[in-house]
Amino acid sequence: MQAGTALFTSELRVICAGVDVFAEALRRQSVPVQALDWRPPAGGQLELSDILTAIYSDGELCARINAANAETLRRIGHANPQIVDVAPAHEALGLAGRTLLHAGPPIEWPRMCGPQRRAVLGAIQFEGWAESDAAATAMVESQQVRLRPNHSYGAVGPMTGLISPSMPLLIARDERSGSYGFSTFNEGRGNTLWFGLYDQGTFERLRWIRDRLGPAFRAALGRHGPLSVFEIVAQGLQMGDECHARSAACTALLLKRLVAPMLEAGVAPQLVAEVARYIDGNNHAFLNLTMAAVKATMDAAHGLPYSTIVTAMARNGVDFMLRVGGLEADWALAPVAPLDEAVYYTGYSVADASGDIGDSAIIETCGLGGMAIAGAPTLAPFVGGRLADQFAALETLANITLGQHPRFSLPTMDGQHTPLGIDLRRVVETRSVPFITTGVLHEHSPTVGQIGTGIARAPLAAFDRALVALAHDWGIPTALPLPAELVRIDRSP
């Protein structure tokens, strides 16, 4: 009785977990309340919760998952991808005939977003297959041109991601595993195919990249030897890059590495000057090296049975696709999320924007980009405007990852290493998704390219569908059918 009396006469202290309306009612009565940020697992979706419960309650299955995830993290953390050569796409990839590669999932011509359609037409004319927009369009519509996703050839491309047969590719090889990754050279700003724009200046630049930059870079590699991408990335992170939306420091370090080897290899001084001006005028020059290196890294880490770690994300402006280590060649699809968190240039808004686009989202799966945003103070407006907002964003990402990258640390956070290993289970359970630092392209204009920059969030539906697909593979009973939104992308022409 005395205990009961003490309960009603002592100061009331309340902890509220769940619906905030209960806490708010007490606050209005001046009662101190400690609210817990708690939500039902999987957003209260019972079928998904049942899958998670079945996974976590099966000791043998958990042991297999933990072992696979540990090995996946080890492979990522110990990778040493290097740019080893430059070669035209028809040689490097075996890109035969009138085949064009593009960013993101497979997509039919009528469903393509505006920038990607324009980039396809521009690439056709660059290759000399047609001399006008009308003729190029007729070729695509009559299926005289074959359109394939970059990932089907082991390649990646930023934004529209167009790769055509004569374009020179950066060839990355992971020294540890022997896995390869490929990407084009970055075109820079202005009227460029990666922004979905083209004119005669675009074709002149592409020809210069093909005929001048590619051979000069290859000569420099022959003199310098393989170029360790992650060594430069690790330095760039200490200088304000996050290596996706911002690669200014890495680009400067690249220029420093290239000039002497080019001269020593006998590259004409005038061409060395041209290359130096190209790199100096394009802070995204290093982006494509990062992408090729990350592709080689994540391919080496992919395909371990029972792995729940995300090994790639890609978008084409319409659809988003997600690859999880244990799903082998199957990717989960979902519509891209609206770009309503981007910072738009004056005069533009989300109403003008194409959907989220590019293969570059693979960078976030390797502990860079959004996973390193707290190391790039200039990108603070993407997540609220303050450095403290960047720290908070990184803490949220740490809740859906399983480890930290051993080579990538952030000086702004006292050397803390970047989150690594996006775990499918944690995303589905917490309903917290990774975000991607990215640019925004105009959907309709043939003369306006980038109209903003910021973050794009991966669509939750893709993660849910991937979990259901794993449940079917693992024989976990579920009322949910195998998702129809799965696409198989084998790495073969």
Residues 352-381: pLDDT tens digits?
999 999 999 999 999 999 999 999 999 999
The domain segmentation of the chain, as residue ranges, is 2-38, 46-77+299-488, 86-291
The reported pLDDT for the residue numbered 184 is 98
3-state SS, residue 414: coil
Counting residues of the chain whose pLDDT is more than 70, the rounded percentage is 95
The reported pLDDT for the residue numbered 6 is 63
Where residue 199 falls among pLDDT bands split at 50, 70, 90? very high
The reported pLDDT for the residue numbered 19 is 64
The reported pLDDT for the residue numbered 30 is 72
> What's the mean pLDDT in 456-467?
98
Residue 462 has pLDDT above 80, yes or no: yes
Residue 321 has pLDDT above 60, yes or no: yes
The reported pLDDT for the residue numbered 14 is 77
Residue 339 has pLDDT above 90, yes or no: yes
> What's the mean pLDDT in 320-342?
96
Q: Evaluate whether the domain defined by 46-77+299-488 bears CATH number 3.90.1700.10.
A: yes
List, for residues 155-172, the tens digit of each pLDDT value. 999 999 999 999 999 999
List, for residues 21-50, the tens digit of each pLDDT value. 767 776 777 777 777 766 788 888 999 999
CATH H-level, domain 86-291: superfamily: Enterococcus faecalis V583 domain (3.90.1710.10)
Residue 15 has pLDDT above 90, yes or no: no
The reported pLDDT for the residue numbered 27 is 75
Angle in degrees, 0-180, between the axes of helices 133-141 and 114-126, rounded to the nearest 10: 100
Counting residues of the chain whose pLDDT is more than 90, the rounded percentage is 90
Q: Over the chain, what is the mean pLDDT?
A: 95
The reported pLDDT for the residue numbered 325 is 98
- List the one residue out of 248, 187, 244 whose CA is nearest residue 214: 187
List, for residues 116-146, the tens digit of each pLDDT value. 999 999 999 999 999 999 999 999 999 999 9
The reported pLDDT for the residue numbered 4 is 56
Q: What are phi and psi of 242, to 5 degrees?
A: -115, 0
> What's the mean pLDDT in 340-353?
96
The reported pLDDT for the residue numbered 226 is 98
d(CA 420, CA 274): 38
The reported pLDDT for the residue numbered 24 is 75
Q: How far is CA 273 from CA 251, 356, 365, in A?
A: 16, 36, 36
